[in-house]
Chain A
Amino acid sequence: MSQGRKAISTYLLLGSLLLGTWFLAVRFGAVALSGREFLGALCRAGSDPNRVIVMDLRVPRALMASLVGGGLAMSGASFQALLRNPLAEPYILGISGGAASGAVLVLAAGWMSVTSFALPIAAFGGAAVAIALVFGVALSSDRRMDVRVLLLAGVVVGAFFAACIALILSLAEAPTIRSAVLWMMGSLSGSTWWTVTVVAAYTVPVACLLVALARPLNLMSVGDETAGYLGADVEKVKRLAYGASSVIAAAGVAFVGVIGFVGLVVPHTVRLMTGPDHRSLLPLSFITGAAFLTLADLVARTVIAPAEIPVGVVTAFVGVPFFLALLRRSLRS
């Protein structure tokens, strides 16, 4: 049937896009390698600098971009369904503010010297505090995760953390401010095989969980009451889906900072192409988000090499016109 064939061709198209992006991300970077040097780097073992550049810098970086980009896109799609709001994105419930507060605190207090994981742990912890606050408010009222309560709580908690960050930065030294601002704009430059493994350990199982919740998420898009009558255990789905989406977003933010725009635009783009059924929307959003962020990171680290543009800037500059064009085309048809 045509629907099945269309689905397969979409997967093939986006899958090859992702593979192509991976190739580009590994082939190009701040150091120009000739084709020969590149092939040599792939084949030769040992500590040859070209091999280190390709295998220990570019490959983990591309993988991290894929995991984080895919996770953010999936998380965004899920939040859009749960909150029944097209403007929802992974940071809408204050996660970015909480994570940034944790990170800025560590930077200002100079705890990086304690352990290299101080920054991601603090960022994840801050995100967890934000999540706890928002859901605590939503669960304490009788409403049980009412959408409006969640959105309001998210806005308020986000504003609170923004104030915390402003306070810390106003008292901090210039180097701290610089680090904090750069962190908040997002960067994949610290990606190593070890951090990639940690992020994958979070992202992959949670992404599978979200895909399993695809049909309930479809139901949630038309309303809690109807979803319940069509067989969804609404409160359980909410707990699982909110939890999963928040964990993916928090795990991404913890290691790479706040990369905006991916979680908002990629789900809409995929929805315009293949419709709102989450059984295809979620996996395709993951693939598209992975490709998008990998490509954005490639641009971020090559355009003004050896300096780097923060990747969040690239995602915004590239994503906005592309999405607007797609929107116009779909409105016309």
Chain B
Amino acid sequence: MAHISWWLALGCCCLIGFSSCSGEPPPPEGSLSPERILLVDDANVEVILEAPPKRILSLVPSATEIIVALGRLDLLVGRTDFDLDDRVLGLPSVGGGLGPSMERIISLRPDLVIRFRGESDPATPQQLDARGIAHIAIRPDRVEDVQRIIGLLGSAVAAPEQADSLRAAIDTELTEVSRQVLGTARPKVVFLGGDPPSVAGPDTFLHELILLAGGENAFADLGALYAPISVEEILRRQVDLILTPEGTPVPQALRRIPIHRVPLTVLTPGIRVGASARILGAMLHPERFQ
């Protein structure tokens, strides 16, 4: 009998010992910090940060750009292989934005990770949850997304005024572009990418840019975001202009239509939305943008 109780006592001590090794003790009640930040990300998930983050890892290049533009480069502790901004090249890389190296992430000890919303990389959020690392998901798909993300990140880094002024600057530039193309006839434009060529449909960023730049998307009735389209259909719609990224081959039959090569930076929504709209505007209405 004595043996059993001795073993039980020993067992209890071990259990207590192990459980106390597992992490920091919970905060005492009633000490919720006034610096608490509540974020609602693009997946409509509420993330509560007890204090403004001091070590941020952004897996989304456009978010990195935004944070730098908000003047908080000092909070960034890492980058991805796809971050091309000179100012962040000195930071250690964690690999790709999708499927980054978990080991590298852990070694950087971030208290906030910014990642892509969506199904492309299901493992990363699960791993981050398992380590108790806060993360927010963003999806910079459209122009309005950019504005919202600037606001979200502004709250996250406690720089709301800079966020507001950044948003205002973008709004101003977009409005300016719209004003400059006012009253022009809208050329029929198709955005072509990939091989076999896929076109951009409605609800895409490129569709919005085309509209902002004073054009009309010849495939505004497409049933998908991007879809491969036969060359015949493109010819049938009698497009006035083809926009295509640098380096994409254009099918022979379409070469008689004016082709404009679009720099790759224009293709993804980010803080340079205004400049992108201006570039496209100059392609569609060169006479208005001298």
Footprint of B on A, CB under 8 Å?
A: 29-31, 45-47, 49-50, 52-53, 56-58, 107, 110, 112-113, 116, 119, 171, 173-176, 178-179, 182, 187, 189-190, 192, 301, 305-308
How many CB-defined contacts (below 8 Å) exist between A and B?
89
Could you list 19 A-B pairs, sorted by A, with CB under 8 Å?
Answer: A30-B95, A46-B22, A46-B23, A49-B109, A52-B131, A56-B130, A56-B131, A57-B102, A57-B103, A112-B122, A119-B122, A173-B226, A190-B123, A192-B130, A305-B101, A305-B104, A306-B81, A306-B93, A308-B95
> With A110-B119, A306-B93 given, is the CB distance from A52 to B106 under 8 Å?
yes
Footprint of A on B, CB under 8 Å?
A: 21-24, 43, 81, 93-96, 98-104, 106-107, 109, 118-123, 126-127, 130-131, 224-226
Give chain B residues whose Cβ lies under 8 Å from the Cβ of A29.
Answer: 103
**A-B interface, 8 closest residue pairs, ranked by CB to CB distance from nearest:** A306-B95, A306-B101, A175-B120, A45-B21, A190-B123, A30-B101, A30-B103, A31-B103
Contact, CB under 8 Å: A179 / B109:
no
A116 to chain B, nearest CB (A): 5
Contact, CB under 8 Å: B104 / A30:
yes
Give chain B residues whose Cβ lies under 8 Å from the Cβ of A176.
Answer: 119-120
Give chain A residues whose Cβ lies under 8 Å from the Cβ of B81.
Answer: 306-307
Please report the C-alpha to C-alpha distance between residue A107 and residue B122 in the assembled complex, in whole angstroms.
Answer: 9
> With A30-B101, A52-B131, A53-B107 given, is the CB distance from A179 to B120 under 8 Å?
yes
Contact, CB under 8 Å: A189 / B23:
no
Nearest-CB residue, chain B, relative to A47: B23
Give chain B residues whose Cβ lies under 8 Å from the Cβ of A46.
Answer: 21-23
Please report the C-alpha to C-alpha distance between residue A192 and residue B127 in the assembled complex, in whole angstroms.
Answer: 8
A299 to chain B, nearest CB (A): 15
Nearest-CB residue, chain A, relative to B95: A306
Please report the C-alpha to C-alpha distance between residue A171 and residue B225 in the assembled complex, in whole angstroms.
Answer: 11
Give chain B residues whose Cβ lies under 8 Å from the Cβ of A116.
Answer: 122, 126
Give chain B residues whose Cβ lies under 8 Å from the Cβ of A187.
Answer: 99
> With A46-B23, A175-B118 given, is the CB distance from A306 to B104 under 8 Å?
yes
Please report the C-alpha to C-alpha distance between residue A243 and residue B74 in the assembled complex, in whole angstroms.
Answer: 57
